[in-house]
Structure 1
Amino acid sequence: MTAIIEPTTTTDPGTTETFESLNPANGDVVGVHPVASKEDVDAAVARAREASAWWRELGFEGRQELLMQWKGVITRRMAQLADLVHLETGKPHGDAQLEIALAIDHLNWAAKHAKKVLGRHKVSSGLLMANQASYVQYQPLGVIGVIGPWNYPVFTPMGSIVYALSAGNTVVFKPSEYTPGVGRWLAESFAEVVHGRPVLQTVTGLGETGNALCLADIDKLAFTGSGRTGKKVMAACATNLTPVIIEAGGKDVLIVDEDADLAAAADAAIWSGMANAGQTCIGTERVYVHEKVFDPFMKELTDQVQQVRAGDDATASFGPITMPSQIDIIKSHLDDAVAKGANVVIGGPEAVGERFVQPTILSHVPEDSTEMTEETFGPTLAVNPVKTMEEAVERTNATAYGLAGAVFSKKNGMAIAERIRSGMTSINAVTAFAGVPSLPFGGVGESGFGRIHGPDGLKEFTYAKAITRQKYKPLLALTTFARDAKTDKRAATLINLMHGGKSTLPKK
C-alpha cells in the first residue's frame, strides 16, 4: 500500500488532473503532481483510520523505534531533501538544511518524550476521595489533518506531524501547492520504515484539496498560513465540529533598549527580517529602538546590511519571493509608507523586482501605514525611535497580531518580554524559541491559537482520560441511596473542617 495518493478521475480513467511546482527563481518546472479530489482525500482519511489501530497499538516504545528510524533516514538524506526545498522555495541550500536540522531535532524530542508527557500517571485524590487511586493519561485523537505552508515546508508542518504521530495518531498531510514535492518526500520516506502502511499520507493539490481535508472525517486539523485562509479553514472545519490549531502569521517586533549590544541587535534584526526573503511568520518586521541609541543603531544596521543581497547564485544571502502574488503586497506596503512620510534608508519601492526583493530599511515610519499594521512578508524592516521601553511595549502590543518577537537589553530583557502580548519572545536573540523542542509554539489574537512543539504540542493531539480505582471502601459512603442523615452530617462537618477556615475579608 502506498503512502502517496494518486487520484483518479471519474470522467476519463486514462487521465489525472495535475499541477506543476515551479522554481520561483527562474520559473522552471520542478515537478508535476496530482490534484487530489474530495474522493481521493476521503479515501486517504479512511486508510488512515484503518491504520490508526495498528499505529496506536504499537505503544510509545514501538512508535519511538520507528520514528527514530525515520529520523535516521531524513538525516542521511538531508542533502537530497535540502536540494528539493531549494528548488521549490528558492531559499539557499544552507537555509534549507537549517530548517531540516531543526525538524530532525523536534522529531527526536517528540518521539522520546511522548510517554513521559502522555503516559498514565498518578494524581492526588484529595481527602474526600482518599479511598480512590486517581490517574490521568492522554489518548490519541485518531486521524489528524495537517495543512502546511510553503515558506518552511519541512520544519513547520513537521511541528504538527511528528507530535501527532508520537502521540499515537495517523496523519493526512496537504502541503502547499508551491512545495508539494517536499510533502511527498516526507510521506515516501516515512512509508519505508512502516513498510507502506498509510500512517502518514500526503495529498497534493490546490485550495479545493485543502478544503476537502477540512471537511473529511478527521479528528483535528492543524493549519499554518495566512489569517484570511485560516478563517476559511475554521469555517470549513466547523461543519463537522472538527477542532483546529491555527498559526496565522504576525507582525513581529524587535525591541532595542538603551543598554543593548547594538551590533548584535542589528545583526539579529537583519537576519530575522530578511532571511528566507523575509518570508518568516516569526520574523522581524518592526523595530523599536530607544531614542538614546537610535542613531548608532541605525549606523550598525546600514553598515551590516550592505553585505546582504537577494539572488539565485551561491553567494546570495537569500532567494526569491516564493509566492508571486506577494510581490505586489510588499510593493504596496512600501509605497504606502513612503507616501505617508517614511524615510528610505536602504532599498525602498525600487528594490522590488519581478522575482526578487532587495533588502529594504525604512525609518520613522507612520504607525498607521500598512508597513506597520499588516504582515508584509518580505525582506523589509521598519525602524522607529521610542522615548521609553514602556512606549516600545505599547506600540508592540498595538496590533491584532500576537505571535512572537525579540528584546535586546542587558538588564531589563525579562521584564520587557513578559509585558509583550505574544506567544513567544526571545531575549538577546531572535527566534531561539523555535529551536527549543520543549517550548510551545503558537500565538494569540489574529496570529491564531493552539500550540505545537513541547508537551503542549503533544497534548494538542490527544484527549485527557481520567481513571479512578477504588482501593478500599469509603469511610463515608456518599454515592448510594443507602446514605443516611448521619452520614450527611459527617460529610458536612468534614467539608467545614477542610474548607471553612476563617474569613480573610476585612471587617466592615
Structure 2
Amino acid sequence: MTLTDSPKLQQQPEQPLPDVTATVAAAREASAWWAGLGYAERRRRTLAWKNAIANGAEELAEIISRETGKPVGDATLEIMLTLGHLDWAAKHARKVLKRRGVPAGAVAFNQKATLGYEPYGVVAVIGPWNYPLYTPMGSVGYAIAAGNAVVFKPSELTPDTAVWLAEAWTRANPEQPVLQVVTGGGEVGGALIRAGVDKVGFTGSTATAKKVMAACAEQLTPLVAECGGKDAMIVAADANLDLATDFAVFGGFGNSGQTCVGVERVYVVESVRRQFLDLLVEKARTLAPGTDESASYGRMTHPAGGDVVREHVQDALTRGGTAVLGGVDSVKAPFVEPIVLTDVPEDADAVCVETFGPTLVVNGVADLDEAVEKANATDYGLGASIFTRNHKLGERLAARLKAGAVTIDSVLGFAGVAALPFGGVGGSGFGRVHGPDGLREFSRAKSMTVQRFKAPLDLLRIDRSERDMKIAKSMLHSLHGSRK
C-alpha cells in the first residue's frame, strides 16, 4: 500500500524504543519449546488462541474500529475472516508439513526418500494499518501453526490491535512468549529485521518493501512481501451489470477504498459503458462516510490519505478526465465521499499509481483483449476481477491476467477461502500467505534419504567399475535420449 510509512501522529507521545534484541532472544527460546510440542499439541493450543480471540471479538472490534475508523461491523467481518484462516492453518499444518515419502526414481531405487518441513524458528512480521488483524495474521497465524515463534511489529497507527492479539495468546498459552509485539515506527522495524530473525513477513508499499529487502539482504534473511495493488475489474458486454456494479461499489468504496485487493480501475466494453456508469453512480451516490454504524464506510485511516486522493483526482481532471460523481471537493478530511472518474488517460496517477481511497476510474475499451492489455499495463499484479456470464471465457481471460488472484463474477471472493494462497507478482510482491503454500512459506523443506540396501549399480564411489559405468551410459541413453 502507498502509505505504509506513516508519520507519527501528533496526539501520540514519543515512546522509548523497545529492546528488540531481548524480545527476539525470548522468542528464540519460545520457538524451541513450541516446535518441540509436536503437531497435535500445537493444534490444540492454536485453536485455544482462536477461541480466546472469538470470545473477545466485541472488544477487539471496538479497538480496530477506533484505530482505523472503519465501522464496527466491518471490523467484526475482519475478525471472522481472520478466525477462518487461523482455524484452517491449525487443523491442516500436520497434513501439509509432515514428512512423507517421495519416489526415488530408477537410478536411486535403493534409497528411501522422504520430504518434510521444519519451522524456521523466529519469524518477524511487519504489518499494515488498513486491515490490522486480517492481513498480518496471514503471516502471524500461519507461521505459528507451522511451529515458529513470532515477533509482530504493527503499524504505528494500529498498535492496540496487535497488543490485544498478543495478550489473547498469553491468556490461552501463558507458558512461553510464542507471540510478542513490539510497537513503534520504521526504526523499530529495521531493528527487528537486523536482530537475528529467521524470516520476515512484510505487508506495505513497494517502495518500503525494497528497503526491507535491502535490510534482509545484509544477513540473507528470507522475505515474503505483499505490496500494493492497482486492481482492475473487467466488464464484458454480456455481464450482469447489476451484479458488476454492486461489486464495484463494494471493492472500490468499502473500507474507504483502503484495500490492496479492492477495485481501483474498471475496464468496460464500450457498448455497455454508459449503462454501467449510470448504475454505478446511482448506487455510489447513496453512500456516506461517517463515524457511526449507519455509515457506509469510515474515515481515511492515514492522515495523508485524503491528500493523495485529492492529488490523483486533480491530475486526472486536468488531463482530460471527467468526474461523473464527486471530485476534488469530495475530500473532506478525514472523510472522502465517493468519486467516480471516466475517460482518464492511462498514464495518469489515478490509473497507474495506487490511490488507496474511495475512487474508481471507469474507462471504456473496444474489446476484452484491450481490457486485458490495459489491466496488465501497471507494475502491480495483486488481484483482478472479471464479470461475464460466460465463465469459461472468464477463466481464459483470468489466465492472461498478471495477478496473484482473480475472481470471476465477484470481488475478493478468495479472501474467505483459507485453502487458497494469496500474494502478488511484479510490484505487488512475492511469496504467498494462506493455504498450504502459506504454511510452507514459513517452513524449511528438509530432504532425507535412507539407503535400504546396496545399489546393484554402485556409482556413488570413487573407484567405479568399468561394468557399472558401461551400464550407466546405456541407462543414460535409454532413459533420457531421443527415440527414433
Which interval holds the TM-score relative to the shorter structure?
over 0.9
What's the counterpart of residue 173 of structure 1? Answer: 152
Q: Does 1:487 align with 2:468?
A: yes
Partners of 1:33 and 1:204 within 8 A in 2: no
Corresponding residue of 2:291: 312
Distance in 2 (CA, whole Å) between partners of 1:369 and 1:45 is 44
Contact 2:52 2:171 survives alignment (8 Å): no
Following TM superposition, by how much is the alpha carbon of 1:378 offset from its aligned partner in structure 2, in angstroms?
0.2
Offset from partner CA, 1:450-498 (integer Å, 9 cap, x none):
1111111111111110001112221111112343111111222223222
Counterpart pick for 1:469 among 438, 442, 450: 450
Match of 2:324, SS state, is strand
Percent identity for Structure 1 against Structure 2: 49
Distance of 1:318 and 1:289 partners within structure 2: 26
Structure 2 length as normaliser, TM-score? Answer: 0.96
Question: Is the 1:402–1:446 contact (alpha carbons within 8 Å) kept by the matching residues of 2?
Answer: yes
After superposition, the C-alpha distances for 1:369-409 in whole angstroms (9 at most, x for unaligned) are 11011000000000001010000000001111111011001
Q: In 1, distance between residues paired with 2:395 and 2:14?
A: 48
Structure 1 residue 196: deviation in Å? 4.5
Q: Matched residue of 2:415: which SS?
A: helix
Shift of 1:345: 0.7
Give unmatched runs, 5+ long, in structure 2.
1-5
In 1, Cα distance between equivalents of 2:465 and 2:186: 64
Equivalent position of 2:440 in the other structure: 459
- Please list the CA deviations of residues 285-334 of structure 1 after superposition, one character each: whole Å capped at 9, or x if unmatched: 00000111111111110111122111112211000001011221111000
1:326 maps to 2:290:
no
Determine which of 338, 344, 349 is the counterpart of 1:365: 344
- SS of aligned partner of 1:209: helix
In the alignment, residue 226 of structure 2 is paired with which amino acid? Answer: E
Instruction: Find the counterpart in structure 2 of residue 111 from structure 1.
Output: 90
Q: Deviations over 1:345-386 (max 9, x none)?
A: 111101001210000001111112110110000000000010
Alignment of 1:89-488 (within 5 A): 89-411=68-390, 412-488=393-469
SS, match of residue 81 in structure 1 = helix
Change (3 A) 1:461 1:109: same
Residue 3 of structure 2 corresponds to none
Displacement of 1:499: 2.2
Of 23, 47, 50, the residue aligned with 2:29 is: 50
1:167 positional shift: 0.8
User: In 1, are the aligned partners of 2:73 and 2:293 still within 8 Å (CA)?
Assistant: no
Q: Secondary structure at the match of 2:345?
A: coil
Q: What are structure 1's unaligned runs of at least 5 residues?
A: 1-18, 504-508
The alignment's C-alpha RMSD in Å is 1.6
C-alpha distance after superposition, 1:42-74 (max 9, x if no partner): 110010011111100011111100001011111
Q: Which position in structure 2 is the counterpart of 1:12?
A: none
Q: Which residue is equivalent to 1:16?
A: none
Q: Is the alpha carbon distance of 1:33 and 1:409 closer, same or farther for their aligned partners in structure 2, counting shifts above 3 Å?
A: farther
Q: Secondary structure of the residue that 1:464 maps to in structure 2?
A: strand
- Give yes or no for contact 1:35–1:204 (8 Å, CA) kept in 2: no
Instruction: Say if 2:49 and 2:173, in contact at 8 Å, map to a contact too.
Output: no
Distance 1:402 1:499 in 2: 38
Higher RCO by CA contacts (8 Å cutoff, separation 6 or greater) = 2
In 2, distance between residues paired with 1:290 and 1:205? Answer: 47
What amino acid is the match of 1:89? T
- The whole-number CA distance in structure 2 between the counterparts of 1:339 and 1:64 is 56
Residue 223 of structure 1 aligns to a residue whose secondary structure is: strand
Q: Which residue of 2 aligns with 1:14?
A: none
Question: What amino acid does structure 1 have at the position aligned with 2:404?
Answer: G
Q: What is the DSSP-based 3-state SS (H/G/I as helix, E as strand, rest coil) of the residue aligned with 1:434?
A: coil
AA at the equivalent of 1:423: G
**What is the CA–CA distance in structure 2 between the aligned matches of 1:209 and 1:78, rounded to whole Å?**
28
CA distance in 2 between partners of 1:261 and 1:342 (Å)? 26
**Count of residue pairs the alignment pairs up:** 477
C-alpha separation in 1, matches of 2:17 and 2:224: 23
Distance 1:416 1:480 in 2: 53
State the SS of the aligned residue for 1:84: helix
| Residue-by-residue CA offset, 1:19-41 (whole Å, 9 max, x unaligned) | 9997xxxx9x7x8794434xx11
Q: Which amino acid aligns with 1:413?
A: G
Provide the C-alpha distance between the structure 2 equivalents of 1:479 and 1:433, rounded to a whole number of angstroms: 48
Tell me the distance in 2 between the aligned counterparts of 1:344 and 1:149.
30
Amino acid across the alignment from 1:231: K
TM-score relative to the length of structure 1: 0.92
Classify 1:259/1:101 alpha carbon distance in 2 versus 1 (closer, same or farther; 3 Å): same
Q: How many Å separate the matches in 1 of 2:290 and 2:14?
A: 27
